[in-house]
Structure 1
């Protein structure tokens, strides 16, 4: 029994081995017929590898080429968009400027309508009043955003005192702002024309504005004398007015004894102190010119007034005021030898005539005892017991070259009560 079983198992094992060999041979034949060169041709593998490598390189090259073209396209689109953006910004600026001018015209037109639009009959005798106060311009902060921020902090009721100064007048400048502080005035600003003056004001806790560089006027600012610097102010003041602020322009040879803003009328484009020394010269008079050879018509009547002082005047932000600054600054640039005060008065007073359009600006002369020039003080006031008791708002040492010692004497007389402080000085510049 055991032998028979062992024989049967060996027979079964042999049959299985035979079947496996037969299947293997059969499969070998099938693969031989289907794949005569085998799965991988090892006779010459290089061509296939080269083809695959070349294909990969071609794909990479194609990708790089497409990326480069795409990058160039993006650059072109960016440049086009930038140009379009610049054009849009330009158009926006143009539209903004047109809108601003339209608003100005609208504001002025509304003011004019109050007088002219609603046509009325003239009232009773002595009651008719014309338009005196021109409307303010619409503030435009884009003119100078940095200055606009400073003025927002310094100005009171949209007005302030402004003085231009360089390092040549440091001693007078210090006396100037010390008296302003003593009176209690807070709305004042020094326009520093050089770095030294800017640093000096900052150290003294004085509000200061250092202009951005301007090659056309910076050389004058650094080294110019009184007249040269004085001529610059008409150019610089324009930005203050465009920003919507009224300016009390002040030279530094002025002693402040009271707050001037408490003594302004604000009913005109320009309110200025006078170089006149009495009622006639300050406020105007009828001067008769005599020409005997004309016989019956020998006497010709003329209207005379002494000039406004361009070193101390209050100017409102109106179109005529800005036109005045433009006219004066323009003439001074074309006529470098002209005196700024003469040009200032000519543009302010000369009427329209053939070949010339006069400026249509309203003006007011300040009280010459309150806003006093040094001729009035040293020639008249100090010698009169009653007048010497009056306390002016400011004293402008404009008639005398020895400015600083006279300014010190004014402080001694009016502030410290030293009665003989003014006596040692001559009337004029002897």
Structure 2
């Protein structure tokens, strides 16, 4: 029995040894096969593994390629920007040269809206009898000075951005002397003589009179040196524009005027143009209904007309507004193209003629000065000197515009109103004939 048991134990051990050897062999075979497949298929045994890897790799290459293209596009844009920047610098220089014209055009474009903005917010119409339209145009934005020298003179001479301006050449030096002597006597400091030749400039300087000599201009210099009264009168509209463009109000004055009071104390400043009149009474100065009679028309023989005597272009106050500057441009242009035209006639036509087919009238506000305060020589010699009551009134200025012997009459006005000589005006006729 003991022998049988030992044999059975030996058989079990042999059997266990065979099983272990088989397991080890299977493991060795598995490892060998695994190594073989790992060598043959380094990227995986399944068919979709390689394409997936290739797809991811190609996507990365596409991203890198896209980044390169973006970099090239950026460089192109930078070069284009540099070219545009240089072109922009050139355009800025051109725009700078045209700034004055552009600014003036912009002001004119929305002129009506600027009036509303300057005078307040838009409002509804009020009760009957309380509605008033716009009266005063807004002043322009001061433009760059035509010359720095003129700008400096105006800064020193003007008072509250307004001054008296007169044009003069050597031909009128004697009248000019009476003119500025009367201004000094009244105590006016804001006045300026625009000298049209060197001799009159020296004359003003020697008499301590503010003077401005314009830069050389062949056409203007020729008129200024040799021109008569009418030629010089036409020239003043071109020169006057320079003052308005810089934002200054000007009381334009001929030199055949005697100042007895400060005119700036009597201005209303509510219109574009405020002018003395050539009229001699309320009707002729301020307007009247004149009836035209044509008997051939029968029942309709009477036609009513509105008349007013012209404004005097030798003495008027003009504010720096768009309508005022347009007026000066119109008058100067017409006088340049119509050499036989009289500046005062053109001045009034442009100021008063309404719009009609094929013509657009000037939209400017006007005021007529008191003809007893701003007196023309017809009013003085035909009416005032013969009236005891009126002769006691002291006008602001007297303009010797109706008579040729200007210097003698100017001196007589000084004698009558300043020195109190009651007989100083008696020797002169009413008109121009002795």
Query: What does residue 102 of structure 2 align with?
Result: 98
Distance verdict in 2 for CA 1:115–1:157, change over 3 Å: closer
Distance verdict in 2 for CA 1:345–1:219, change over 3 Å: same
Q: Contact (CA 8 Å) 1:289, 1:302: kept in 2 or not?
A: yes
Q: C-alpha offsets along residues 62-102 of structure 1, whole Å, 9 cap, x if unaligned?
A: xxxxxxxxxxxxxxxxxxxx999765422333356535654
* C-alpha distance in 1 between matches for 2:238 and 2:260: 29
Distance verdict in 2 for CA 1:352–1:259, change over 3 Å: same
Name the count of aligned residue pairs. Answer: 349
State yes or no: 1:391 paired with 2:394: yes
* C-alpha distance in 1 between matches for 2:220 and 2:119: 42
Distance verdict in 2 for CA 1:289–1:220, change over 3 Å: same
* C-alpha distance in 1 between matches for 2:100 and 2:290: 51
State yes or no: 1:350 paired with 2:334: no
Higher Cα Rg, which structure: 2
* C-alpha distance in 1 between matches for 2:151 and 2:186: 26
* C-alpha distance in 1 between matches for 2:345 and 2:398: 21
Give the 4+ runs in structure 1 shifted more than 3 A: 82-88, 94-108, 113-117
* C-alpha distance in 2 between matches for 1:255 and 1:95: 41
* C-alpha distance in 2 between matches for 1:143 and 1:117: 35
TM-score, normalised via structure 1 length? 0.78
Q: Cα offset for 1:307?
A: 0.2
* C-alpha distance in 2 between matches for 1:324 and 1:229: 18
* C-alpha distance in 1 between matches for 2:178 and 2:264: 20
Query: What does residue 202 of structure 2 align with?
Result: 199
2:367 to 359, 364, 368: 364
State yes or no: 1:424 paired with 2:432: no
1:270 to 241, 254, 273: 273
Where do 5+ consecutive residues of structure 1 fail to align?
1-81
Which structure 2 residues correspond to residues 251-330 of structure 1 after superposition, within 5 A?
251-330=254-333
TM-score, normalised via structure 2 length? 0.77
Query: What does residue 407 of structure 1 align with?
Result: 410
Query: What does residue 93 of structure 2 align with?
Result: 89
Q: C-alpha offsets along residues 106-159 of structure 1, whole Å, 9 cap, x if unaligned?
A: 786343246796241x21222111001000000013433221111010000000
Secondary structure of the structure 1 residue equivalent to 2:96: helix
* C-alpha distance in 2 between matches for 1:96 and 1:409: 47
State yes or no: 1:168 paired with 2:183: no
* C-alpha distance in 2 between matches for 1:421 and 1:249: 28
Secondary structure of the structure 2 residue equivalent to 1:216: helix
State yes or no: 1:179 paired with 2:182: yes
* C-alpha distance in 2 between matches for 1:341 and 1:103: 28
Q: Contact (CA 8 Å) 2:166, 2:252: kept in 1 or not?
A: yes
Secondary structure of the structure 1 residue equivalent to 2:357: coil
* C-alpha distance in 1 between matches for 2:428 and 2:371: 21
Secondary structure of the structure 2 residue equivalent to 1:267: coil
Q: C-alpha offsets along residues 150-177 of structure 1, whole Å, 9 cap, x if unaligned?
A: 1010000000000000000000000000
